[in-house]
Chain A
């Protein structure tokens, strides 16, 4: 245990007297570099941190009060966004990623929360089945946050210690929670505030814990415990937080929509770190260049996406990151300018004596790991469904010959291969029609050379999604050496649905 520099009680006394010394984490990093850590840790009592990012695991518990006659709402909507109603009659939870049944993801739970905090009017709609004590079955009214008995922001997972950076090796633009990722490593999306990051600045979780008072959404919040997916061993700690929404500020709670991904809520979170010993001081003084994350290829449809390289927040924040032999633009999805504002605001509160530090009731769990979902039901794989030994052809084959074989074999897709059976192209019945139109003679004149393929171990629904994305009906199945093993077509997929009784098909309303 490091020797104590000061206690939280001593810091609070200094806050009360008005002579506490507070710096933001950025200022503390600079001071430690210019004056040395020893001196910085002696002079500074508290370091304030901040982050302002899209935090999907956010939402608010609301109590609407009882109507007369009363209703037990089993379903409810605020501005057409569904509110979770598996609770008592007029209690509900509005989640940040729920979205409007009329406007789609352009307006979601995050926007509802921003509108509530801004004092705007919202349309509440509710339905119930009617009971002796709750006779009403429908309600529709206009409310503001002032009409609610309670509005409590309760976020199961906020303020990731650090987060991955994303890029895209594929030839298709991807729309993700780290923003739009352009094809062929066109850009990098990242999140997190690096040397301002609340949880990274106390990365050994020494001073914060259950009950710590924090800045949350422009108001006061508390750490309830570890956040979901908390994984301290990998410096991916998270916190679960709560605070009175009625006292928060819409500047620090912003509804948002990630294009073709979904709606969410930007949350401002700031944590004061009492500099109680040298280890805490050292961690709080960690600069961006010593905070690392990994750049991950998001084009791989797996939770085990390949790591391309390690990168520091200093390099990410510079906006230009080296990837292979090129320089790629990096942009943050969280706002650094707002993160600074959070840390500055918290600093001001402490200096003005309106915010005091609290001693945690219990530390956060440090042993927990993040697990993945077990898949214990059989899922159909490409290898089981593909046609083995499909009809193939060579680039020099004549159109006439191949079209005859296609008719005989009753197939629409012919993978084109070289002497070693390696895929070099694909020809479909449409290409044959094109060949007739332009009077082509051999396959290589008309074949598609950029072929979308499937791998034998991939699951069928991933391949179905790929067909949909590229608007195609058949994919050659290849091994690691690009040798053709089989062919999978939309006809094979519909065959599967028939034998499964349509299990994967989402039926529209009757």
Chain B
């Protein structure tokens, strides 16, 4: 399965190589999609492509190292009632997760999305909803 996790580090743990530890202990590569550091915490969105029990193991390692872990079930959604299929979002999407498909309708391939948020700003009718 492909799992997306939101990790929150408190300042006390932000300088520890916790993610590397999780990678080494689980033996599974973890892809960092997005990372931000604020004055009060570090927030990271990562993707793990592994069996469910391996994903649980990784979550366990992270939690035991004081990282807050939240699974992100669905990350981007297009509000079809609002979307006008202009395609403004497609040009600013770095991974081609958003493209115009059949009959020039907007197609979203969620697994390609890296949660950069470019599409939110580019949408003139605010039809993109991003969870992160």
Contact = CB atoms under 8 A, between A and B. Distances in A.
Interface stretch (A95-103, A253-261, A375-383): A253-261
B104 A336 contact: yes
A254 B88 contact: no
B100 interface: yes
B98 to A, nearest CB: 10
A161 interface: no
Q: Which of A180, A187, A254, A266: most chain B Cβ within 10 A?
A: A180
Given A334-B86, A337-B85, A338-B85, A329 B91 contact: yes
B124 A54 contact: yes
A188 B99 CA distance: 15
A333 interface: yes
Interface size, B (range): 20 to 34
Contacts, number: 76
Given A254-B125, A259-B121, A335 B84 contact: yes
A332 interface: yes
A187 B122 CA distance: 12
A257 B91 contact: no
Interface string A261-286: 00010100000000000000000000
B90 interface: yes
Interface residues of A, number: 30
Contacts of A256: 124-125
A370 to B, nearest CB: 26
Interface of A, helix, strand, loop or mixed by DSSP? strand
B104 A266 contact: no
B124 to A, nearest CB: 4
Contacts of A189: 88, 91
Contact of B124 (A258, A260, A330): A258
Nearest to A257: B124
B85 A330 contact: no
Given A180-B118, A337-B85, 7 more contacts: A180-B92, A254-B84, A259-B121, A264-B124, A329-B90, A333-B86, A336-B104
20 contacts: A54-B124, A179-B91, A179-B124, A180-B91, A180-B92, A180-B118, A180-B121, A188-B91, A254-B84, A254-B125, A256-B124, A258-B124, A264-B124, A319-B99, A331-B88, A332-B86, A333-B86, A335-B86, A335-B104, A336-B85
Interface of B: 84-92, 99-100, 103-105, 118, 121-122, 124-126
